[in-house]
Amino acid sequence: MSNPDYQKRKAFFDQLLTIYGRKPVLEALQDPAMKIYKLHLADSNKEDGIVRDIKKIALQRNIDVEMHDRKALSRISKNGKQDQGVAADLQLTAYQPSSAISKDLLTSSKRRYIALDRITNPQNMGMIIRSVAASGIDGLILPRRGGAPLSALVIKASAGTLFRAPLFYCEDLGQELARMQTQGAQLCGLSSHATHSVFDTQQDSSSQIYILGNETDGVSKEIEGLCDRMLKIPMHNGVESLNVAVTAALIAFLSV
C-alpha cells in the first residue's frame, strides 16, 4: 500500500534534529534563521532566568511548547543526564536523503560532493560542515550511523552552519556510493598512501565524490574497494597526514 501522506510526513520528520541543554536551545531560539518545530520542557524545571527566557522567545516566535515529565523528556533528548530539562526539535531544511542526488543531477553537469566514512570526532564533523557550507560545493553525504551524531557539540563546532549546509543522509554509505557510481559519479577515496594528487584531477568532467575516512584508520577497505581512484594531498617536511577537517576544506575549496 503506497501512502503519499506517510512519505511526506516521514520526509518531514527525517529533517528534524533534536538538540538539548539550556544554552544550546536558547541560542537556537535566538537565531531567527533557525526553524524550530517544537520546544520540549520538563515540568520539573524551576522557572529561573534561562528557562523563563527560553519560554518567552518560544512564545514570541509562535513555537509549540510541550510539557513532559522528567522521564518522557529524557526519552526525547536521549540524554537525560545532560538535557537540563530542555530540548528542541530543529528543522534542517537543507537536510535531505541522498537519493535526491539522482542520475540526472550527476550526469547533467559536473557535481562535487564529499562523503564521510566514520568521522567520529564532533569537532572535526562540525568544522567539515562549516567548510562545506562556505565552499559552495554540492553537498556532504553522511551515513546515519557509524559517525559522530549531529549533536549540540557538532552544531557548536559548525558555528551554526549546520542549518545552512547541503547535507545528504543515507543508511548505508557503501550502497549509496555504488549506486551513484553506476549513475555516472566517480568515487575518489582520500589516502595519504595514494600515489596521485587530488590537485591533478581538475580536467575531469564527470561528477566527483570525494570520500574521507576515519581519523585513525582512514577509508574502510570495503569502500576503498569501490573507489575509481585513491588520491592524496601532497605533503612536505615529512608530514604524514593532515587533519581530516583541513583535508575536507582543501577539497571543497580547491579541486574544482
- C-alpha distances (whole Å) from 93 to each of 14, 147, 163 are 10, 21, 7
- Interaction of residue 165 with a copy of itself, rule CB under 8 A: yes
Part in contact with a copy of itself (CB under 8 A); list of ranges 7-15, 45-53, 111-119, 161-169 = 161-169
- C-alpha distances (whole Å) from 73 to each of 19, 21, 42 are 12, 11, 6
HSE, CB side, 13 Å, CA atoms: give it for residue 110: 9
Phi–psi pair at 239, nearest 5 degrees: -70, 135
- Residue 214: exposed, middle, or buried by beta-carbon count in 10 A (0-12, 13-18, 19+)? middle
**Complex with a copy of itself: residue 178 or 246, whichever CB lies closer:** 246
* Closest CB 51 distance from a copy of itself, rounded Å: 28
**Complex with a copy of itself: residue 58 or 165, whichever CB lies closer:** 165
**Complex with a copy of itself: residue 44 or 93, whichever CB lies closer:** 93
Report which of 175, 113, 112 is spatially closest to residue 143, judged by C-alpha positions: 175
Cell for 148?
559522530
- Interaction of residue 186 with a copy of itself, rule CB under 8 A: no
Instruction: Restricting to residues 24-63, name those near a copy of itself by CB under 8 A.
Output: 33
Q: How far is it, in rounded angstroms, from Cα 20 to Cα 39?
A: 10
**Complex with a copy of itself: residue 49 or 238, whichever CB lies closer:** 238
**Complex with a copy of itself: residue 4 or 238, whichever CB lies closer:** 238
Q: How far is it, in rounded angstroms, from Cα 30 to Cα 222?
A: 43
Binding track, positions 111-150, relative to a copy of itself; x by CB under 8 A? ------------x---x--xx-xxxx--------------
* Closest CB 197 distance from a copy of itself, rounded Å: 11
Edge-to-edge strand list for the sheet holding 186-190: 95-97, 167-170, 139-143, 112-117, 208-213, 186-190, 229-232, 196-197
* Closest CB 116 distance from a copy of itself, rounded Å: 16
Residues of this chain that interact with a copy of itself (CB under 8 A) are: 33, 123, 127, 130-131, 133-136, 159, 161, 164-166, 233, 235-239, 241-243, 245-246, 249-250, 253-254
